[in-house]
Amino acid sequence: MMEFSDDCESIHESFQCRSVHSCNVMEGYWTFYENPSYRGRQYFMPPGEYRKFSDWGAVCATIGSFRRITDF
């Protein structure tokens, strides 16, 4: 288990992993990206518990980067 509170341009470089199988967004809104450097398929993550990657609409657990949404 890991806890994140800042943007991450590359999950693999920062944490030596390539997949996120579940997630609990405690506050704010986040975007997961399929590839590093905020590229590829995007997944909008409002606050809530996501017990498996399909709960946020992904077909696999591979996540390359993520960042918090600050402007709507």
Angle formed at CA 56 by CA 62 and CA 68, multiple of 5 degrees? 80
pLDDT in tens, 1-39: 778 889 999 999 998 888 999 999 999 999 999 999 999
49 closest CA partner among 12, 18, 22, 21: 22
What's the confidence (pLDDT) of residue 18?
87
What's the confidence (pLDDT) of residue 41?
96
Domains and CATH numbers, the chain: 11-69 (2.60.20.10)
Q: Which residues contact 22 (CB under 8 A, 6 or more apart)?
A: 50, 51, 52, 53, 55
Give me the residue label for tokens 């498996």. 52
Question: Taking the mean position of all CA atoms in its chain, how far away is CA 21?
Answer: 10
